[in-house]
Amino acid sequence: MKILQLCKKFPFPVKDGESIAVSYLAKALNEQGAEVTLLAMNTHKHWVDTDHLPEGMEHYRAVQAVDVDNRIKPIGAFVNLFTDNSYHIERFIDQQFTNKLVEQLQRERFDVVQLETLYLAPYIPFIRKHSNAIIVLRSHNVEHEIWERVALNSTPLKRWYLEHITPKLKRYEIQALNNYDLMVGITQRDVDQFKLLGLNKPSVVCPIGLDSRDYQPDYDSYRRPLSLSFIGSLDWMPNLEGLQWFLENVWTPLLQPRFPKLTLHIAGRNTPSWLLRQNLPGVTVHGEVESARAFINQHSAMVVPLLSGSGMRAKILEGMALGKVVISSRVGMEGITIENRCEALLADQPQDYVDAVQWCYDRQKTLEQTGRLARNCFEKNFDNFESAGHLLEAYRELKEVRSLKFKV
């Protein structure tokens, strides 16, 4: 099985949810005999020196990257208000990327072209023209839902703008639904949403998977005083929005006064300057850390106070894989089935976080058991090798059906 994986950003280093989802699936597909070629946009925001590729990309048969300037430009954003096009999508349409894709398709025959996220959908006409490959959308989220949720929690001006451009994204997402040969959802809930929106093509669920060999829990963290970690890309709006809400509504007025010895450690790629300047009691802002796993392992609990978003949170899976107590909103926990206060703790309102932290203090001598249950849940449900196996089987079945049609 020869697979061309298209990405809207270069998936290395593996430090954010999208890169984790992309790279671990490609690795598992390769381990099961598939040949995976990567063609990725190398954007200004996540630019990588591809002349010196990082270690850990050996599972790709070949790697191609195209520099794409998709930065938000005020004039373009304003002009888009007067068109029917989605500005979210428009920013990822690039002629050089199109040329490289066509060149790749003309040079090599692929069984599957796997689009990582909706933002690669504009390239479907070029794939159809130059290839007979099965076209797959691996949808990491229901994209328009993220922005609808972000709008609800935004300032008035930002909300006004998002309420004007998000319907165009939703329209594009719905119109594209049946342009794929197969829809691959991260969660069953996402697949069900797409069906309600009009999806009638084949679909499968392929959750984000991690390689358990890469995640070794440090249970000694439970022998140290309770501390909280937060880690996530801080240039992704839902992460920043949730963290800011947590600091203003939970940490400062409630947690810090009640638990003065409790500490919160924040790490994230592209940490904004205003957060680095914060001098809140008990809070340490680390910026980008060399190893997310090492950072998570230092603390017994992780907070994921997401207010918006969709799909599945890879960082929660990393926390569970490392045997940590995850305290998350229900939005954050979407796609991950747990029993509250068993494998993880749910918290939506400020007082819920206070109660969750108190629960951790009350059970400090046995809190490690919750972390071990989280690890067991991860091993049972989110192994990347098993997820890739199911996906490859779906690809083979679709390829066989297509072959029979051609024979007829």
The DSSP annotation for 122-138 comes to GGHHHHHHH--PEEEEE
Report the distance separating Cα 360 and Cα 364, nearest Å: 6
Question: What sign for the dihedral angle of Cα 49, 51, 52, 56?
Answer: positive
* Paired residues of 231 in beta bridges: 267
CB atoms inside a 10 Å sphere around CB 194 = 21
Helices (H), 177-226: 188-196
Residue indicated by tokens 């703790």? 345
Instruction: Identify the DSSP state of 387.
Output: H
Residue indicated by tokens 């002349």? 51
Per-residue pLDDT of the chain (408 residues; tens, 9 = 90+): 999 999 999 998 887 888 999 999 999 999 999 999 999 999 988 888 888 777 779 999 999 999 999 999 999 999 999 999 999 999 999 999 999 999 999 999 999 999 999 999 999 999 999 999 999 999 998 999 988 888 887 889 989 999 999 999 999 999 999 999 999 999 999 999 999 999 999 999 999 999 999 999 999 999 999 999 999 989 888 899 999 999 999 999 999 999 999 999 999 988 999 999 988 999 999 999 999 999 999 999 999 999 876 668 899 999 999 999 999 999 999 889 999 999 999 999 999 999 999 999 999 999 999 999 999 999 999 989 999 999 999 999 999 988 776 655
Report the distance separating Cα 34 and Cα 57, nearest Å: 15
**pLDDT in the model for residue 406:** 61
Fold of 218-381: Rossmann fold (3.40.50)
The radius of gyration computed from the CA coordinates of the chain, to the nearest angstrom, equals: 22
**pLDDT in the model for residue 310:** 64
3-class DSSP state for residue 67? strand
Q: Which two tokens stand for residue 168?
A: 């165009």
**pLDDT in the model for residue 37:** 98
* Phi and psi, residue 167, nearest 5°: -60, -30
**pLDDT in the model for residue 153:** 76
**pLDDT in the model for residue 13:** 83
**pLDDT in the model for residue 278:** 87
Q: Locate CATH 3.40.50.2000 in the chain.
A: 2-211+383-407, 218-381
Sheet of 227-231, strand order: 283-287, 263-267, 227-231, 301-304, 325-328, 345-346
**pLDDT in the model for residue 157:** 92
Predicted structure pTM score: 0.87
Question: What sign for the dihedral angle of Cα 96, 101, 102, 103?
Answer: positive
**pLDDT in the model for residue 149:** 82
- Render the burial of 253-262: b for 16+ CB within 10 Å, e for the rest: eebbeebeeb
Cα Dmax for the chain? 73
**pLDDT in the model for residue 407:** 58
Fold of 2-211+383-407: Rossmann fold (3.40.50)
**pLDDT in the model for residue 155:** 86
